[in-house]
Structure 1
């Protein structure tokens, strides 16, 4: 269940027995790192390191030093006494070679993952453990490919703390109010008696008594645990404040500071990690995988990617996916270079223009369409990587320059002698996900259906990120040439599919990368399914019939009403499911009031069975606008429904304009709360067109009794959202305003 280093050459291993007992073992663990260089330089390094106190042993061995190498090289293997000393030893060796002479390998794999790899284990694997003199001996009775694996009965406890804040915003100096603990059966323990030290020690006692495997918090990494540690330190009981299974005290200098990073053009912030030992701390506000796929998906990721539970809860999906590649590389004797050395092929301007074009798009046919079918390729890009063997070491390989397998548009050759690392590792996730989807659709048991869906959702994110990581500069098995090669194959496959559809009498009304929207007079669902079978057979990439729309409306641009917009539509399927893209209900910064209004309007329109009925239901949808407008004018809308959530894409001081989120960040900074790039801020519009910036909005944390919202601003947001939805009928924000007032007006006023 958990692994971590303890003393030199040792790791603690927590195992859940069949009887439910949680047992702590100690195992010997001395990982290896490798150095590659010219032979004379390696001989000299061997002499220098013979008496190094951090090294248990060293020897020469044969490995593939780089992923693209066709032959093994003679490298120096260093067995490190204490895995915690690998970073310092790495820097020591690099300095010896002036950071140029020596290339380090396998030096940046996390210690717990390295242990799993070396023992061929993974989290929650079903194993037989035997303690022997040299450490632990494992007999594995499980495998990562398993589908119906057994998960032990895990104990989960949720921790929340009420801060007796003295000011508007809580800080580390405020005393503890109440501590609440809730277990899996929803039994709650409230600690609200005694002084602060008593409350903290009662928390320690309650956690020890229930002995949870998972301690779940919200904001535990960013505030809750740093706050509790500070309060324990202030009360001189930090050495007694033990929440881990292992009696390991928290570091009194634990910081709540995290890091900001970029991903796909967006800025994100991740709080620093608070580690428990023998238990797993899951911070719901600092985990993607638990948020997207629940605990079932979280465990699936940990098992499939061989990532420790504590790490899987916080790792980006891309980092988890890379873990599969690392494991496979070690099994194939391929070393993991500290710095990747896979050059990109030279490209002329024409090469870039022709080759680097992304996916193919058919511009949507503007307006409302009846009887439309949607076809979606299942994991198209990963399937193409697997089918065409695309990886860093296979695209433009040195061993097959005359290969007849060529990437469309680019002409790059692909290796025919070996299967690449990326196709090998993608195959596992693809195979498991397709199996989970089949099992989900076949079962009638609600719990099993939910479990299989959560697992396939988690694997979907693995497959989504594997394409991005193929072109990521820091990915050890990534390659830009392979990245654009996948896009080239995708364009070829997509166009071939569209031509096959047209040959069968279908009309393409929209297509984007891996999805097609088609219609054909009199076509049945069996006709669409037959087309899917044909495309799958001809392309070798599975495509699914996603659904049959009674009607679908492709909406126009706000600036150019005669031009359609990609990924902006609303449609209703024959089973009643509503699919919406690009509208306010899909945006994270939409206030609840506007979200509810647009949702109610969509529900009205969704009752239409065809385009003619849809237009007839527009007046009823406008009645919804009138109802919400009146609620706002009457002042009956709770302020909580008017809160806006905005993302900070950069540090507040780097913004040039006084946008709302910058004003809010300044307000919060005045109360001692610094807003980091990559985080979100919440606020209320109070006087959006006021000359003084500080009066335009109010941070949600600073809202006090008597604060009023900007009615005009929220009416504008209401009218705009209604106009976006009803744009298929020609409505603008002004038109919605006029309809909601029942009279002609030129200006948008309440």
Structure 2
């Protein structure tokens, strides 16, 4: 750790967090590779709205509050729908860690009805970035003045060819000397493994106190920027802290760059429900001056590597440790909060825009989701697939869909109307949602173009990971628009996007049919088309015409040698919307909705099904496909024989299942519940949202505890 001796430093802003009261610690990775700690004065602001008399009463009650630095009456846009600013009470706090407690005091003073608090959900580090118009890993020049820091930004979130500092990334693993089948906090440390820059270090000598002290010294010596664990949030760091307490050296056990000892975590993990599934999220274990990433508690890193994570942190203006753990919806919220902050629009504590009243007929007409063409069951030759690029996000941008623009009061006679419901959309101002989405849509298109143009494999991978990260924001933005807790969401806008989407999709299908194509299948934003004697140019011309007509890019994904649309298991004559497999002219195999795509499929089943598909993939048409069926059935027989003869490794038979609720709340002894109960009996903590792994031992046994064996 170094403090800057020079008044000016050029480099990348790496980490920000509250230090002393009224101060923020700021870590810079300088151009010459130094890790420099600076301190800046910072006092956050919250805002209180309500009638004038209530605001003035509040001033009298908080005047002597020790957490309040000062207050003032100013004008802001209070509600997203407001077209004029209103008077609000601006309260400046001495310490950003006191925002939550002061918010609760104010709400209590107003009996939770008469006063509303705004911008109170922004954490101190995020507020600091917003206030200074900065973002993580921004390249800048910072001048260390006596009173505060002065920033000169030399970077932009819109940049696609930005440079990043060389990161030191350490992987930390702990091996526990278990005394039972399941490790516990009371078990001693067996060894500690560290990997950084292709070098591996093993700490396995000495007693526990010496091992922990060696770990602290090694981390300080190697000085990593990022420490990656698997289970650090949920178990590893809690375990290490417990062993440090037992060894009476918790004050010396330091992994942060800022020399702050670990403190026991008081925050509990949370279980939440999203898109039909229950998830469990462990509480964050924070390091200071370094970033801890739990590989088991990060979605974006697993989907798009570090390049995708850095892109999300930059564009969403969220600290790295937060970005790595955030859901994509939370990242989307951060983008919207910054845009609102920039437009002097207050961020509500709770969603404040209700759904407009609709008659039963209006609901029947409008609330219908996306348009689909039921697939024609069977195998089809020479089928082309076309796909709208970011269809729903593009519709939201093109049609200005946001909470404050749909059914706005300023444009009742707007020419921009939502189909079928005829709702007006604002023409006087651009909404928060389309503003932030335009940035994401435009950047992703540029990354995809660069990925396809460059030859260098490292650059190709980098651009691909960045566009994948942005893709997930675009994938979730439509659902988040209708989410009940989205502060700039709107159910009416959500319904409107579906209506615009249905109209665009139907127009694309009609244009395709007018050009002689047959629609074999269609779902929301993708069409599978067939035309005798068609060539690639026919598909490309069609895409160009539809793109020009509708205003959203329609891409030709490729042509299949053959594709199989599978039927429903319950109704053999009815096709399933998203269950198919096929081989393109390029040789690429595309599979959806079958076992090889499911996360809980045992490796044995995956290998068997992939071998069957690979054998089919050598067929050039449906006739050759049918001729290969006997050989494919022989594959099934061979795998069955391996299983009967006990030739399959036990790890290839492991099944993974998700728990939608706590094990004790299940009424039936399903396989995953039995496995969870076995783990609990061994001392493990199993919660709703966790996954359990097990093997089937005797699935029909009358004693349910003998049906499976937990891993």
Structure 2 partner of 1:111: 124
- CA shift digits 1:389-414 (9 cap, x unpaired): 00000100011111121111111111
Match of 1:326 among 337, 343, 348: 337
Match of 2:664 among 635, 640, 653: 653
How far apart, in 1, do the equivalents of 2:608 and 2:480 lie?
A: 39
How far apart, in 1, do the equivalents of 2:473 and 2:576 lie?
A: 29
How far apart, in 1, do the equivalents of 2:80 and 2:373 lie?
A: 38
TM-aligned CA deviation for residue 47 of structure 1: 2.2
Matching of residue 273 in structure 1 with residue 291 in structure 2 = no
Matching of residue 247 in structure 1 with residue 259 in structure 2 = yes
Structure 1 partner of 2:480: 469
Matching of residue 212 in structure 1 with residue 224 in structure 2 = yes
- CA shift digits 1:195-228 (9 cap, x unpaired): 1111111111111110000000001111111111
8 Å CA contact retained: 1:256, 1:271:
no
Helix, strand or coil for the counterpart of 1:171?
coil
Helix, strand or coil for the counterpart of 1:559?
coil
Structure 2 partner of 1:405: 416
Match of 1:233 among 230, 241, 245: 245
Structure 2 partner of 1:672: 683
How far apart, in 1, do the equivalents of 2:636 and 2:131 lie?
A: 62
How far apart, in 2, do the equivalents of 1:198 and 1:54 lie?
A: 42
Structure 1 partner of 2:517: 506
- CA shift digits 1:410-436 (9 cap, x unpaired): 111111111111000100100000000
Matching of residue 28 in structure 1 with residue 22 in structure 2 = no
Structure 1 partner of 2:173: 160
How far apart, in 2, do the equivalents of 1:559 and 1:17 lie?
A: 63
State the TM-score, normalized to the length of structure 2.
0.97
How far apart, in 1, do the equivalents of 2:416 and 2:316 lie?
A: 30
Helix, strand or coil for the counterpart of 2:251?
helix
Higher mean Cα deviation, 48-57 or 362-371?
48-57
How far apart, in 1, do the equivalents of 2:242 and 2:547 lie?
A: 60
8 Å CA contact retained: 1:255, 1:272:
no
Matching of residue 571 in structure 1 with residue 582 in structure 2 = yes
Structure 2 partner of 1:356: 367
Structure 1 partner of 2:7: none
* 1:260–1:54 distance in 2 versus 1, CA, 3 Å: same
How far apart, in 2, do the equivalents of 1:302 and 1:404 lie?
A: 38
Higher mean Cα deviation, 654-663 or 155-164?
654-663
Structure 2 partner of 1:295: 306
RMSD across aligned C-alpha pairs, in angstroms?
A: 0.9
Matching of residue 432 in structure 1 with residue 443 in structure 2 = yes
Structure 2 partner of 1:98: 111
* Unaligned stretches of 5+ residues in structure 1: 701-750
- CA shift digits 1:585-612 (9 cap, x unpaired): 0111111101000010010000000000
TM-aligned CA deviation for residue 120 of structure 1: 0.6
How far apart, in 1, do the equivalents of 2:620 and 2:200 lie?
A: 48
8 Å CA contact retained: 1:226, 1:256:
no
How far apart, in 1, do the equivalents of 2:638 and 2:200 lie?
A: 41
* 1:327–1:256 distance in 2 versus 1, CA, 3 Å: closer
8 Å CA contact retained: 2:73, 2:89:
yes
How far apart, in 2, do the equivalents of 1:56 and 1:499 lie?
A: 64
Matching of residue 178 in structure 1 with residue 191 in structure 2 = yes
TM-aligned CA deviation for residue 632 of structure 1: 1.2
TM-aligned CA deviation for residue 255 of structure 1: 5.7
* 1:684–1:255 distance in 2 versus 1, CA, 3 Å: farther
How far apart, in 1, do the equivalents of 2:665 and 2:363 lie?
A: 33
Matching of residue 609 in structure 1 with residue 606 in structure 2 = no
Matching of residue 199 in structure 1 with residue 211 in structure 2 = yes
How far apart, in 2, do the equivalents of 1:634 and 1:338 lie?
A: 62
How far apart, in 1, do the equivalents of 2:494 and 2:267 lie?
A: 37
Structure 1 partner of 2:381: 370
How far apart, in 1, do the equivalents of 2:666 and 2:408 lie?
A: 45
TM-aligned CA deviation for residue 48 of structure 1: 2.1
Which runs of at least 4 in structure 1 moved beyond 6 Å after TM superposition?
Answer: none
Structure 1 partner of 2:491: 480
- CA shift digits 1:660-703 (9 cap, x unpaired): 01111111111111211111000010000000110100101xxx
Matching of residue 445 in structure 1 with residue 460 in structure 2 = no
Structure 1 partner of 2:90: 77
Structure 1 partner of 2:707: 696
TM-aligned CA deviation for residue 127 of structure 1: 0.6
TM-aligned CA deviation for residue 256 of structure 1: 8.5
Helix, strand or coil for the counterpart of 2:283?
coil
* Unaligned stretches of 5+ residues in structure 2: 1-13
Aligned residues: 698
* 1:515–1:112 distance in 2 versus 1, CA, 3 Å: same
Higher mean Cα deviation, 321-330 or 356-365?
321-330
Structure 1 partner of 2:572: 561
How far apart, in 1, do the equivalents of 2:298 and 2:317 lie?
A: 17
8 Å CA contact retained: 1:222, 1:256:
no
TM-aligned CA deviation for residue 115 of structure 1: 0.4
How far apart, in 2, do the equivalents of 1:257 and 1:579 lie?
A: 41
TM-aligned CA deviation for residue 42 of structure 1: 1.1
8 Å CA contact retained: 2:96, 2:123:
no
TM-aligned CA deviation for residue 106 of structure 1: 0.4
How far apart, in 2, do the equivalents of 1:270 and 1:422 lie?
A: 27
TM-aligned CA deviation for residue 44 of structure 1: 1.6
Structure 2 partner of 1:733: none
